[in-house]
Chain A
């Protein structure tokens, strides 16, 4: 079993739809949670970053973390064709007071928003 599970999709939605992207994880030591967006033939870029359980909002994007369920989500409101990309969840491990300088990524979900 992978440490981080993410449905690869692909996911296709009409413009204006609300998009929900999700990841589950197995290691309770993960404490930092991020969402990266990757356009075709480009490197990933950080979209959202959260530490604690709860919601974090940034414009049309909301990141949600539920540590008790080991589940994170990214919601996109009023989706636009420019949101078409691969969305990767990522998590950072801290254990025993020691930080580990590496992220574990999900598989990525391919999203297409059509006009």
Chain B
């Protein structure tokens, strides 16, 4: 298996633009997590899904952020409109039995909002 695949690797956009980040989890994994990492706040959970259903989105900073998982092999995280304070590395991770089992992280998307 190729592991968790995220795209794009880097995204540079201007304030106000829509940004869509994509993730393909490891096949057979039932849990999918979106994290954001910054120097100031570290690694923060934004939202997680179980069997394609959002379970906890309490970490989503505000209504500008939305996430979907239309099927077991694809998820998106959308920011609309984007702001400079959204600049961070966004990670997708998947696991077979939730967070108490090993999480497999993708390589992340480095987002810069100018």
A interface with B by C-beta (< 8 Å) = 32, 36, 41-46, 49, 88, 92, 99-108
Give the distance to chain A from B57, nearest Cβ to Cβ, in Å.
11
A45: which B residues are within 8 A, CB to CB?
A: 104-105
* Given A43-B91, A46-B102, A108-B42: A101 in contact with B56 (beta carbons within 8 A): yes
Give the distance to chain A from B13, nearest Cβ to Cβ, in Å.
20
Decide: B56 and A103 in contact? CB cutoff 8 A: no
Decide: B107 and A103 in contact? CB cutoff 8 A: no
Contact residue among B31, B43, B44, B107 (Cβ-Cβ distance under 8 Å from A42): B107
- Assembly CA distance A32 to B91 (angstroms): 22
Chain B binding surface SS class:
strand
- Assembly CA distance A43 to B108 (angstroms): 6
- Assembly CA distance A3 to B31 (angstroms): 23
Decide: A101 and B48 in contact? CB cutoff 8 A: yes
A102: which B residues are within 8 A, CB to CB?
A: 33, 45, 48, 56, 99
Give the distance to chain B from A85, nearest Cβ to Cβ, in Å.
13
Decide: A103 and B103 in contact? CB cutoff 8 A: yes
Determine the interface band of chain B, counting residues with CB < 8 A from chain A.
20 to 34
Q: Which residue of A lies closest to B105 (CB)?
A: A43
Q: Which of A43, A92, A107 has the most chain B CB atoms inside 10 A of its CB?
A: A43
Decide: A103 and B99 in contact? CB cutoff 8 A: yes
Give the distance to chain B from A8, nearest Cβ to Cβ, in Å.
8
Decide: A46 and B103 in contact? CB cutoff 8 A: yes
List 9 A-B pairs, minimum CB-CB distance, nearest first: A43-B105, A101-B98, A105-B43, A107-B42, A103-B99, A46-B102, A92-B100, A32-B100, A102-B45
B 20-49 to A, binary, CB cutoff 8 A, 1 in contact else 0 = 000000000001010000000011110010
- Assembly CA distance A44 to B44 (angstroms): 13
